[in-house]
Amino acid sequence: MHAIHAMWLREVKRYLRSRVQIIASLAQPMMYLLILGFGLSPVFQQAGQGNYIQFVAPGVVGMSVLFSSVFSGVGLLFDRQFGFLKETLVAPVPRALIMIGRTLGSATNAVLQGTLVLTVCIIAGFRPASLAQLPLAFGFMILIAIVFAALGTAMGSVLKDMQGFQIIMNFIVMPIFFLSGALFPLTNLPPVLKILTSIDPLSYGIDGLRTELINISHFGASVDFTVLVIAAVAFISLGSYLFSKIEI
């Protein structure tokens, strides 16, 4: 437990040292929120779907958590490149605990960034349906962060090249985002898209956020929670195995 706590503190300190980068990383979520939100709002209203800002804001929050958490694997590559990882791995603690600590630290960073994006969404005009449901929304943010921080760590454990990591993660992350329903409703989709969205873990995270923030649900909160917990356990297990195989 001490190793998990130490790694968690290290990742949080890294987050605090990179505040400028975090502010800069708000550009992409704000682009989707402001340009798409206001640009497509008239079309969305004419289709009888209501306010598009209300619909897309949970997706933008989920997107920020996704990108922030999954690219935690970059930190692992930096640690390997500069020798910090070797110092960590020679410590007399199980590597699985180190991996879990890194994952929880990266997830904390992602949740903090998601909270910042949610605050900006509220300033831009988004209004949660109920303040009482905000803790449940944060619960889904935490689950999304853990799932994809574990995925990022797993990928970072296998790859040694920074460029290779970015190419592979973009190949994986962008489809995960665009198939999640963050930007469009999941109802009345073509059969192929319906299958793809149903196997995307982020779809359940976005749906959970929408359930708690605007009371719109596709799968149901219980299904969303169950799938995310299963995905978290699976990715943490995979990441722990791959992390334990790193050669120093």
Dump pLDDT digits (tens) for 78-106. Answer: 767 666 666 666 666 677 787 888 888 88
Q: What is the pTM of this model?
A: 0.83
Q: What is the dihedral of CA 226, 227, 228, 230, to 10 degrees?
A: 90
Question: Which residues lie closer than 8 Å to 141 by C-beta, 6 or more apart?
Answer: 61, 62, 65, 110, 111, 114, 115, 209
Asked whether the beta carbons of 144 and 205 are under 8 A apart, the reply is: yes
CA distance linking residue 4 with residue 7, whole number of Å: 5
Identify the segments of the chain with pLDDT beneath 50: none
Asked if 55 contacts 132 with a C-beta cutoff of 8 angstroms, the reply is no
pLDDT of residue 43: 57
Placement of tokens 């799938």 in the chain: 227
Tokens 């992390």 -> residue: 243
How much is the pLDDT for 77?
Answer: 72
